[in-house]
Structure 1
Amino acid sequence: MKKILVPTDFSEQATFALDLAVQIAKKNNGEVHVLHVLELPDGHSLNFTGEVAAGDPMTGVFVAQLVNKAKKSLGAINKKYANENVHTHLEGGHTFRSISNSISKKKIDLVVMGTKGSSGIDELLIGSNAEKVVRNADCPVITIKAKTNADKIKNIVFATDLGGKQEKLVKKVKALQEAFNAKLHILRVNTPGNFENERAIKRRMEGFAKDNKLSNVTHNIYSDVLEDDGIMYFAESIKADMIAIGTHGRQGFMHILAGSIAEDLVNHAKRPVWTCKIG
């Protein structure tokens, strides 16, 4: 967690994300990159100094106002974190694409994003930038909705089906656990559509923890109709500070058919959610 990216729209949730990212960076002697993306009208762009280029003159005046407002907000961030290793960036373009490019170019280890979540028709048809990042990012992503103190993240629920090749995911989860010096609660949710007797689950869970050399853990089985509900209800029952889960990063038609438990948690869970692509 040496290089952390915080995409910001200057909302309250984005401020919570930045505060958490700075706390994590201090724990790991890391740096934080704050990115604000202006989605500009066609024909307009920002040059490397953040000035508006090309486009209709009248629209350009409006865009220039947005740029100045963004610069002022980023300046306030620079002032607030003057004594921290925080760097601000202003770009014009497509938000998700800019985030993805920043992850790649800056070799980001972790993204921390604030999100309000979504539901109903917005969740079904549009999705959020947070969902897209969770689905596609090649590094772990933490999404939060409320003010979070890094020093108080001591109980992390690691939801897993215990199957498939998860070496990369488990390695990242262990790093997460170590970063917060937290207890890891391994969780398998038993659902009607993916039911297994508890004796078999316990044997597999014990083998999973042993094979992956996991320590300071508890083994947990929770029954519910839906896996994401089971994860959230279990996390609530033990007052967990964070939920960790892998995502397969399905795209296109497969994503529409199968959906994503990780994205459902990003939208609906009250506590911070850590996600990482499996494989």
Structure 2
Amino acid sequence: MEFNLSNLTTEQRNKHSLQIDKMTTYEILTIMNSEDSSIAPAVRRVLPQIERAVELTYEALNRGGRLFYIGAGTSGRLGVLDAAECPPTFSVDEQLVQAVIAGGPTAMYKAVEGAEDDGEEAVNALLERGLSAQDVVIGITASGRTPFVIEGLKYTRQRKACTIALTCNKQALVSQYADHTIEVVVGPEVLAGSTRLKAATAQKMVLNMISTAAMIKLGKVYENLMVDLHASNRKLRERARRILMAITGVTYEEAVLVLEQTQQEVKPAIVMIKTGCTYQQAVESLQQSKGFVREAITRLLHF
């Protein structure tokens, strides 16, 4: 499969950085900072497309499906990063959000030559993970023409699962193989074709939005606090106490005592303090409320 890269926005030369090799350090940093200021507006322009991606992701997760990111190089690493952060942030199973990166785990630390061209590897990886029609797959490719991503999305469609493409070029090739597309165009890079710069920043912003918004819609957040965090270390246990104090107004010592009763789970601790119920009653109410703290509290107060 041959591709013409010359017309891609991500491959164009940036007119503002044509003399960057002659610039001082401060001038280099200034132009990079100036170019970065275009990223948020570019993401804002595609908020309706991101909104739809969030809804599709939420629907898949709510019906028992999983979220897969698939990508190569920097795009793949961004998928791995977002997937890895979901379990500690939202206490979800590590299988719920997964990343498939061209070249496998080794590619997180060093480039695996030719991996992005191996579409069969993408298919095999998804096959091994038991991809089903319940799942949603987000293909991440700045250029929009990465064979690894395209073949992965083709296979996903065969499995009748939802497909989303995230790219940084208009009318990208990958868009032909996705049910829904987010094309966030940030313009030519300071270094032509180096999509680890603006394109990667834009992709990370979009992935942050999709996973965070979907988890909020699944009841993983109360107010603007991470009440479903997995308090697996000292820092997170301390955060759990501070969260409980902020929401309920209890003292530090009281927060420690209640969290000991809930095995460091913040949600039932909130419900217990807000309603005066037992741990078991809090757990049952949360189960009946599908994990939504506000509903669990209301259910107990109006029982």
Q: Shared fold (TM-score greater than 0.5)?
A: no
Please give the range of the TM-score, normalised by the shorter of the 2 chains: under 0.3
The structure whose Rg is larger is 2
TM-score between both structures, scaled by the size of structure 1: 0.28
Higher helix share: 2
TM-score between both structures, scaled by the size of structure 2: 0.26
